[in-house]
Amino acid sequence: QRLLRFAAHLQQLDMESNGKRVTRQSRLVEYRTGPVVWGEPGTNGQHAFFQLLHQGTEIVPADFLAAAEPREEMGDHHAKLLANCFAQSEALAFGKTEAEVREELTQAGLSGEALEKLLLHKVFPGNRPTNTLLYRRLDPHMLGMLIALYEHKVFVQGAIWDINSFDQWGVELGKALATRLLPVVRDGASAEDLDSSTRGLVERCRAMRRGPPSSEPD
């Protein structure tokens, strides 16, 4: 839980640095560069996006970060968290074969059409790549090491992909368009020169503002 916002930091670090499609030589790349980065602490992610990691159509590499020791007394809670962490990396690596599922369902008393209908839903393909970064406990020194590790990774990937990890041209267009749209949204300036999609949003927004007050309670 202490790393609650760590994934958000890595989003900015990785996606803003390496979300590029043009090389240092001003040529379009012919390969994938920066990934989409997200994450959650503890078991929160297990019921949010792990379904996609285990059985989705895209192979998504994942990192697990875990402290061997908690910073305070937690009873057996920390042991349960570690068990879940290690279990997820094992499941992603090795999955569960069709033969294993068939045996499991047979032992549970299923057979025939009922078994076949459920069979593939419970197969896990495995061979999903993960890293598990295990450290003794999280303290300021260890947090700095983790940040430095990911910063180094981003720099090396940028060098390999021949992109400039230290510019952010991709954030400028939205800012420029927002500056142009502000008088339209705030002051009622003409929307005639906007594209049909943006103009439609502006007109819908204006219509909502002219409508009756919201019925939502204060």
Domain-embedded: residue 217? no
* Alpha carbon distance 190, 197 (integer Å): 15
* Alpha carbon distance 110, 185 (integer Å): 61
195 and 155 share one domain: no
Predicted local distance difference test score (pLDDT) of residue 127: 98
Domain-embedded: residue 1? no
95 and 155 share one domain: yes
140 and 187 share one domain: no
Predicted local distance difference test score (pLDDT) of residue 59: 96
Block means of pLDDT (10 residues each) for the chain, length 218 residues?
A: 92 96 96 95 89 96 95 88 96 98 97 97 98 96 98 98 94 94 96 96 95 66
Predicted local distance difference test score (pLDDT) of residue 166: 94
149 and 55 share one domain: yes
Predicted local distance difference test score (pLDDT) of residue 75: 85
Convert 24-55 to b/e letters by CB count within 10 Å (16 or more is b): eeeeeeeeebbeebebeeeeebeeebbeebbe
Which position among 30, 47, 113, 121 bears the catalytic label? 47
70 and 111 share one domain: yes
Domain-embedded: residue 81? yes
Known catalytic residue: 16? yes
Question: In terms of Cα–Cα distance, which of 35, 42, 32 is closest to 4?
Answer: 42
Where in the sequence is the domain holding 62, given as residue range(s)?
A: 6-166
Known catalytic residue: 175? yes
Predicted local distance difference test score (pLDDT) of residue 149: 98
**How many structural domains comprise the chain?**
2
Which position among 30, 113, 141, 175 bears the catalytic label? 175
23 and 102 share one domain: yes
155 and 109 share one domain: yes
Predicted local distance difference test score (pLDDT) of residue 215: 64
Positive or negative torsion for Cα 21, 22, 27, 33: negative
Known catalytic residue: 47? yes
Phi then psi for residue 85, to 5 deg, are -60, -50
